Amino acid sequence: MNITSESHLAATVLTVTGELTIDEADLFQRDVQENVNTFQTNVIIDCSGLSLIDSVGLESLLWLSDEINRNGFKLNFVAVPEPVQRVFELTRLDRVFSTHETVEAAARSVA
Protein backbone atom coordinates (compact mmCIF):
# COMPACT_ATOMS: atom_id res chain seq x y z
CA MET A 1 0.00 0.00 0.00
CA ASN A 2 1.11 3.52 -0.77
CA ILE A 3 -0.41 6.83 0.33
CA THR A 4 0.30 10.20 -1.20
CA SER A 5 -1.06 13.48 0.07
CA GLU A 6 -1.97 16.71 -1.66
CA SER A 7 -3.45 19.82 -0.07
CA HIS A 8 -6.37 21.59 -1.70
CA LEU A 9 -8.26 24.63 -0.49
CA ALA A 10 -11.21 22.64 0.82
CA ALA A 11 -9.48 19.42 1.92
CA THR A 12 -6.45 17.19 2.06
CA VAL A 13 -6.58 14.56 -0.69
CA LEU A 14 -5.07 11.19 0.18
CA THR A 15 -4.50 8.81 -2.72
CA VAL A 16 -4.41 5.20 -1.57
CA THR A 17 -3.00 2.56 -3.90
CA GLY A 18 -2.67 -1.17 -3.35
CA GLU A 19 -4.40 -3.14 -0.62
CA LEU A 20 -5.84 -1.88 2.65
CA THR A 21 -5.82 -5.07 4.69
CA ILE A 22 -4.77 -6.30 8.12
CA ASP A 23 -1.15 -6.27 6.96
CA GLU A 24 -1.34 -2.58 6.01
CA ALA A 25 -3.72 -1.11 8.63
CA ASP A 26 -1.05 0.12 11.05
CA LEU A 27 0.92 1.70 8.20
CA PHE A 28 -2.28 3.34 6.92
CA GLN A 29 -3.06 4.89 10.29
CA ARG A 30 0.53 6.13 10.77
CA ASP A 31 0.67 7.62 7.27
CA VAL A 32 -2.71 9.30 7.68
CA GLN A 33 -1.70 10.84 11.01
CA GLU A 34 1.45 12.25 9.42
CA ASN A 35 -0.41 13.65 6.41
CA VAL A 36 -3.59 15.02 7.94
CA ASN A 37 -2.09 17.33 10.59
CA THR A 38 -4.12 16.47 13.70
CA PHE A 39 -7.31 16.01 11.68
CA GLN A 40 -8.00 19.74 11.40
CA THR A 41 -9.12 19.53 7.77
CA ASN A 42 -11.63 17.83 5.52
CA VAL A 43 -10.21 14.68 3.95
CA ILE A 44 -10.89 13.19 0.54
CA ILE A 45 -9.62 9.68 -0.12
CA ASP A 46 -8.98 8.87 -3.77
CA CYS A 47 -9.61 5.13 -4.03
CA SER A 48 -8.93 4.77 -7.76
CA GLY A 49 -5.82 2.67 -7.02
CA LEU A 50 -7.30 0.69 -4.14
CA SER A 51 -7.42 -2.94 -5.20
CA LEU A 52 -8.58 -4.73 -2.04
CA ILE A 53 -10.01 -3.95 1.38
CA ASP A 54 -10.77 -6.29 4.27
CA SER A 55 -12.53 -5.88 7.62
CA VAL A 56 -9.47 -4.39 9.31
CA GLY A 57 -9.12 -1.93 6.43
CA LEU A 58 -12.77 -0.95 6.94
CA GLU A 59 -12.07 -0.45 10.66
CA SER A 60 -9.21 1.87 9.71
CA LEU A 61 -11.55 3.93 7.54
CA LEU A 62 -14.11 4.10 10.36
CA TRP A 63 -11.35 5.21 12.75
CA LEU A 64 -10.37 7.98 10.32
CA SER A 65 -13.99 9.02 9.88
CA ASP A 66 -14.45 9.23 13.67
CA GLU A 67 -11.27 11.31 14.11
CA ILE A 68 -12.25 13.75 11.38
CA ASN A 69 -15.90 14.05 12.46
CA ARG A 70 -14.86 14.59 16.08
CA ASN A 71 -13.09 17.75 14.95
CA GLY A 72 -16.04 18.99 12.90
CA PHE A 73 -14.73 18.06 9.46
CA LYS A 74 -15.86 15.64 6.74
CA LEU A 75 -14.45 12.52 5.09
CA ASN A 76 -15.33 11.79 1.45
CA PHE A 77 -14.27 9.08 -0.99
CA VAL A 78 -13.74 9.40 -4.73
CA ALA A 79 -13.32 6.93 -7.58
CA VAL A 80 -14.24 3.91 -5.46
CA PRO A 81 -13.66 0.74 -7.52
CA GLU A 82 -16.66 -1.57 -7.94
CA PRO A 83 -15.28 -4.37 -5.67
CA VAL A 84 -14.62 -1.88 -2.86
CA GLN A 85 -18.01 -0.20 -3.39
CA ARG A 86 -19.60 -3.64 -3.13
CA VAL A 87 -17.88 -4.18 0.24
CA PHE A 88 -19.21 -0.78 1.38
CA GLU A 89 -22.71 -1.89 0.33
CA LEU A 90 -22.50 -5.34 1.96
CA THR A 91 -21.38 -3.80 5.25
CA ARG A 92 -23.85 -0.93 4.88
CA LEU A 93 -21.00 1.55 5.09
CA ASP A 94 -22.30 3.08 1.89
CA ARG A 95 -24.81 4.73 4.24
CA VAL A 96 -21.97 6.15 6.35
CA PHE A 97 -19.37 7.06 3.73
CA SER A 98 -19.98 9.78 1.18
CA THR A 99 -18.67 8.80 -2.26
CA HIS A 100 -18.18 10.94 -5.35
CA GLU A 101 -16.96 10.46 -8.91
CA THR A 102 -14.26 13.17 -8.84
CA VAL A 103 -12.10 15.06 -6.36
CA GLU A 104 -13.74 18.28 -7.51
CA ALA A 105 -17.23 16.96 -6.68
CA ALA A 106 -16.06 15.79 -3.28
CA ALA A 107 -14.39 19.15 -2.60
CA ARG A 108 -17.60 20.99 -3.52
CA SER A 109 -19.53 18.85 -1.03
CA VAL A 110 -17.29 19.89 1.88
CA ALA A 111 -16.90 23.55 0.97
Domains and CATH numbers, the chain: 2-110 (3.30.750.24)
Would you state the pLDDT for residue 39? 75
> What average pLDDT does range 77-105 have in this prediction?
96
Per-residue model confidence as pLDDT tens digits over 7-40: 888 899 999 999 999 999 999 999 998 888 777 8
Distance of CA 12 to the CA centre of its chain: 10
Confidence class of residue 76 from pLDDT cuts 50, 70 and 90? very high
Q: Please state, in angstroms and rounded to a whole number, the distance separating the CA atoms of residues 86 and 91.
A: 9
For residue 83, CA distances in Å to 53, 80, 99, 108 come to 9, 8, 14, 26
Q: Please state, in angstroms and rounded to a whole number, the distance separating the CA atoms of residues 65 and 32.
A: 11
